[in-house]
Amino acid sequence: MVHADVEPEDGAKATVAPLPPSPPPPPPPKSAAVPAAPVNLSARFEDLFGKTLPIWAGGITLAIAGVLIVRYAIDLGFFARVFTPGVQVIAGTLFGLALIAGAEYAWRNQSRVRDVRVPQALSGAGIATLYAAIMVAANVYGLVGPLFAFVALALVTASALALSLRFGPPSALLGLAGGLAAPALVGALEPNVPLLAVYLALTIAAMTGVARTRRWPWLAIAALAGGAGWSLWMIFIGGALDAVGSLSIGAYVLLLGVAIPLFAYEGPRAALLRAAAAIVGALQLALLVAYAGFTPLHWGLFALLAAAGQWLAWRERSLAIVPTTSLALSILLMALWPDPAPFWLAAIGITLILTHASPLLMRLWDAPPDLRRTLELCLLALVLAPLAKWQMRAMSDELLALVALGGAVLPAIGIARGWRADGRVADSRFAWLSGTAAVLLALALGLVIPFWLLPAGIAAIAAALLLFGRAAADRRIEWVAAGLFGASLAALVATPRALDELPRLMSGAEDAIGDAFLRWAMLALVAIFFAWRAERPIVRRLAQAFAAALSYGAAAQLVPAEVLVLVPALIAAALLVAARRVPSARLDAGAATFAAISAAWAALPVAVWSGKALLSLGGMPMPVGGEALGAAELIRRLALPALLFGVPIWLLRDKLPRWVLAAALGAAGAIATIAVHAFYRLGFAAVVGGDFVATGIAQRLIWEALLVGAGWLLWRRGLRTGALALVIAGTAHAVYYGLVLHNPLWAEHAVGGWPLVNLLVPLFVLPWLGMRLAASWFAPASEVADRALQSLTMALVALFAWATLRQLFHGSLLVEPGVAPAENILRSLLILLLAIGFLLWGIRMHRRDWRITSLVLMLAAAGKVFLFDASGLEGLLRIGSFVALGFSLIGIGWLYSRQLAPSAAAAENDPA
């Protein structure tokens, strides 16, 4: 506690109240409650293996014991004499009843037993024992007839149902296990199939009834799975292959696959259970048909199950997989049927077609839309002809065409029923039906017309389908028609005649072949029809491309190669001219295709020229000539096509996108440039000669001047892109080939015998002129480009001066060996003069690059004089070298001190 006396302003003393005590700190949070430790592992083990499993295992053991008692009595001779068959059956029955009585006693005395699983186990064992006793009496000893056995089994089944409802799941499960295992445990390996089928059907029906009542889907699934296993076993043992056995197993499979699952379970997964059961039943009946030899009786059973599957799908949409599976099995079985009689093949085939197609056609356009039905109908229609041909290989083409037309009737009926259906154009079903019918019509037509006309027939049907799609207002059919036209193209190249027709695309025709021309021309006409009538832009453009290619193919069957090479360029030029009045979208793809064909013709000379040009980059001379680069080939393959394409494209420059215009003109210009270069080389060699040493520089200089001059002319006409490309190409050619690769200072090339009046001046001036011209077209030029131009200028001046000095002493060939003493002195003097000149120019133009280069040259001159001239010269020459160097150094220093004195103006005009 703190007290404080404070002196107030009026002088009176005031006492300040004590501060309140600070609150105590909050108590620490309580720790969360620690969960109880899990049950000990040993306790769990004891509970499972000491309390739970022994009871159920005991019930199963008792059930097996009840069955084995009867089996033991049979095998043991003493008991066989004492216990007659009747006594054995009665003993087994009494034992089963005693087990059930014990279960009831345990149920009524739960306070003593204290475990509900005991009555469950006893009741299950008793049920299984009663099943076994009745089966032994009927099948093994024949003590009772089928009717009595049926009644007894019905009573046991009813008892099992009642006990299962009383005692719960374990009793039902044990009863199911005993009931299904009884025929095997009593040794009924060759049973009476009808009686066994009735017994199994009753047992499984009882268990599924219990499953439905108590909502135990696992019990229904187990019962149906066990029943399916027994039906497979009965099929494989062979007893089910006679008439009565076949009917019994067929009825049994129908019950398991269709009837029983309908009442087995009504939960959220009931549809899945029913679909699985029906599919398993269909598979088993298909196996029965194949295993029994494809007899009409077994086919009838299978057709009955297929009809039941259709009824299931009609009743519940979620079971649609069932008829789909039966349809697939029908097709498979028809394909696997060995050597069927024509009558039975037709009868059973028609039966299956009606079984599957009738429900599909009746519900094809029902709401909501279901594509599955349409696809199944299309599949059924498409497989009829292949199956008929597979089973009857001797069938004539005319009869097979009728089968194909019969298959086309199915989708045709679907089309007719759906023509006025609401929302027909909103889904793809109509297109699927139309495509299937068109394919079958094409197949039928191909079977009756000559094989070489098959592509034309398919193309005609594709054109008709395109018109049908427009009439039906369904744009999806357009895709189907386009696909069918693609099939006609495949047929065109797949027929044997294509082996003779396709090579003519590259070599032309020596003689006109009318049939070949007709094949290609008919398809070209259909492609033109697609390009004209199709609504989708991509279909129109593809049709244009194919029309162009097919038109070229038709021409290739008539004209020789000399004329054929110009056909694509001529037609493309006509299309491009027509594009001035027709929308370009109607012609552009065709023109592009013809351009590609022309490019293919140009590929050989371009490849030969390019190969030689690549070799020239390494210094190898580039000879032009030969068959590929002859004058006639250059005109036909390069020059005329480039002209025929380039001129119309230039006339369309205002209608084409910039990138298309640039690409087209660039391609045409590149091909034209190759042709002009080849013509120039041929003409130069014819006029001047082909000596590479004597004429190489002149030949290159003229070509480079032509490029740069053409670029300047294009620039004057406003064609800046092409002008810049030509000037850059000419300049690069002059720099690389003239100054780097074939520079006369280190390459053997004649420059001329007259000093200063020779090829050195244009050799070094032309690159500078080209770079200067190109740089002037960029406004403003970048600093990097300007410095590059100044560096090139200095290099060109130095190289020109050096080459001129060399020419004064050695004449036309500058690479001749040896250096005269006077030439050596003049070299040093030349370096000094260049240094002085560069310095003066740098001072005048305020160019630091020139001044720096002058200093470098001065140092080089000094180094040359001190290191080489002083050691290699004698007398006056040595003195003269040093004198010249001295005065040069003094002069340079004087110039620097006089002209480059620090001033504000100089600092502003001298860039860093």
Query: DSSP per residue over 740-767, as a string?
Result: IIS-TTTS--B--SSSSSSSHHHHHHHH
SS3 for 622?
coil
Q: Which one is predicted more confidently, 903 or 861? A: 861
Question: pLDDT (tens digit, 9 = 90+) per residue, 705-761?
Answer: 999 998 899 888 887 888 888 898 899 998 888 888 888 888 888 888 787 788 888
Beta strand 4-6 with 14-16 is: antiparallel
Q: What pLDDT is recorded for position 873?
A: 53
The answer to whether the beta carbons of residues 58 and 120 sit under 8 Å apart is: no
**pLDDT band of 34, cuts 50, 70, 90:** very low
Spell out the residues 6+ positions from residue 18 whose beta carbon is closer than 8 angstroms to its own: 1, 2, 3
Question: Which pLDDT value is given to residue 43?
Answer: 46
Is pLDDT of 339 > 60? yes
Q: Residue 548 has what pLDDT? A: 93
| 526 — pLDDT class (breaks 50, 70, 90) | very high
Averaged pLDDT for residues 315-333: 77
Position 379 pLDDT exceeds 60: yes
Instruction: For residues 69 and 129, give the distance between their C-alpha atoms in angstroms, rounded to a whole number.
Output: 9
Locus of tokens 């060995």:
338
Residue 617: other Cβ atoms inside 10 A: 11
Structure-token match 């199911």, residue found = 176
Residue whose pair of structure tokens reads 């495949």 in the numeric block:
490
Tokens 């002037």 locate to 776
Tokens coding 451? 């094989």
Instruction: Give CA–CA dist 192/239, Å, rounded.
Output: 8
d(CA 282, CA 287): 9
List the beta bridge partners of residue 15: 5
Confidence of residue 475 (pLDDT cuts 50, 70, 90): confident
pLDDT value at residue 177: 63
Closest to 478 (Cα-Cα) out of 434, 523, 436: 434
Cis peptide before 780 (omega within 30 of 0): yes
In the beta sheet, which residues pair with residue 508?
560
Top mean-pLDDT range of 50-64, 502-516, 519-533: 519-533
Q: Cα–Cα distances in Å, from 722 out to 708, 731, 766?
A: 11, 14, 19
Joined tokens for residue 642 = 């480039």
- 818 to 486, 809, 831: CA distances (angstroms): 75, 10, 19
| Region 779-792 average pLDDT | 74
pLDDT of residue 31: 41
Q: Is the pLDDT of residue 213 over 80?
A: no
Rounded to 10 deg, the angle between the 169-185 and 53-75 helix axes is: 20
Residue 242: pLDDT above 90?
no
Which of 70-79, 534-543, 589-598, 883-892 is predicted least confidently? 70-79
Residue 791 has pLDDT above 80, yes or no: yes
- Average pLDDT, stretch 676-694? 85
Cβ atoms 834, 860 nearer than 8 A? no
- DSSP code, position 262: H
Whether the pLDDT of residue 523 is over 90: the answer is yes
State the SS3 of 170-187.
HHHHHHHHHHHHHHHHCC
More confident of the two residues 642 and 894: 642
CA atoms within 13 A on the CB side of 486: 8
Instruction: State yes or no: pLDDT of 321 exceeds 60.
Output: yes
> pLDDT: is 452 or 854 the higher one?
452
* pLDDT 10s digits, 348-357: 889 988 988 8
Q: What is the pLDDT of residue 509?
A: 82
What pLDDT does residue 898 have? 55
pLDDT of residue 12: 39
- Of 157 and 603, the structure prediction assigns the larger pLDDT to 603
Amino acid 705 reads A
Specify the pLDDT at position 462. 95
63 vs 120: CA distance, rounded Å: 12
Mean pLDDT (the chain) is: 77
Q: Does residue 581 or residue 71 have the better pLDDT?
A: 581
The residue that leads in pLDDT, 811 or 78, is 811
pLDDT at 271: 64
Residues 576-623 pLDDT 10s? 888 777 777 778 888 889 999 999 999 988 998 988 888 888 888 887
**Residue 78: pLDDT band with limits 50, 70, 90:** very low
The structure tokens listed for 87 are 């006594």
In the predicted model, is pLDDT for residue 402 greater than 90?
A: yes
pLDDT at 119: 75
Say if residue 895's pLDDT is above 70.
no
Q: Decide if pLDDT at 130 tops 70.
A: yes
Please determine, for residue 860, whether its predicted confidence score (pLDDT) is greater than 70. yes
The pLDDT of 432-459, averaged and rounded, is 92
Residue 186: per-residue pLDDT: 47
Residue 255 pLDDT > 60: yes
Distance CA 364, CA 433 (A): 11
Q: Contact at 8 Å (CB) between 737 and 691?
A: no
Predicted local distance difference test score (pLDDT) of residue 406: 92
- Please report the pLDDT score of residue 747 as a whole number: 85
Summarised one tens digit per residue, pLDDT across range 572-582 is 888 888 877 77
Which of 483-492, 623-632, 897-906 has the lowest average pLDDT?
A: 897-906
Stretch 296-317: mean pLDDT: 76
- Residue 484 — very low, low, confident or very high, per pLDDT cuts 50/70/90? very high
Give Cβ neighbours of residue 187 (< 8 Å, ≥ 6 apart). 71, 74, 140
Q: Give the pLDDT score at 13.
A: 39
**Which range, 625-629, 772-776, 893-897, has the best average confidence (pLDDT)?**
772-776
Model confidence at 173: pLDDT above 90:
no
User: Tokens for 777?
Assistant: 């077209």
- Is residue 503 pLDDT above 80, yes or no? yes
What tokens were used for 68? 């084995």
Instruction: Indicate the DSSP class of residue 818.
Output: -
What is the structure's pLDDT at 300? 81
Q: What pLDDT is attached to residue 383? A: 92
Q: What is the mean pLDDT of residues 379-384?
A: 92
Of the ranges 218-222, 225-229, 270-274, 335-339, which is most confident? 335-339
| pLDDT given at position 525 | 95
- For residue 292, pLDDT over 90 is answered with no
Q: What is the pLDDT of residue 748?
A: 85
Rounded percentage of the chain residues whose pLDDT exceeds 70:
73
Gyration radius of the chain over CA positions: 52
Between 35 and 336, name the one with better pLDDT. Answer: 336
Lowest mean pLDDT among 4-8, 51-55, 511-515: 4-8
The tens digit of pLDDT for each residue in 3-21 reads: 434 344 333 333 334 444 4
612 within 8 A of 622, measured Cβ to Cβ? yes
Confidence at residue 11, expressed as pLDDT on a 0 to 100 scale = 39
Which residues sit opposite 6 in a β-bridge?
Answer: 14
Highest mean pLDDT pick, 151-160, 265-274, 524-533:
524-533
Which pairs with CB-CB distance under 8 Å and at least 24 residues apart come from 92-95?
A: 92/66, 92/129, 92/130, 92/132, 92/133, 92/136, 93/129, 93/130, 93/133, 93/134, 95/66, 95/69, 95/129
State yes or no: pLDDT of 888 exceeds 80: no
Q: Containing H/E element for 226?
A: helix 217-237
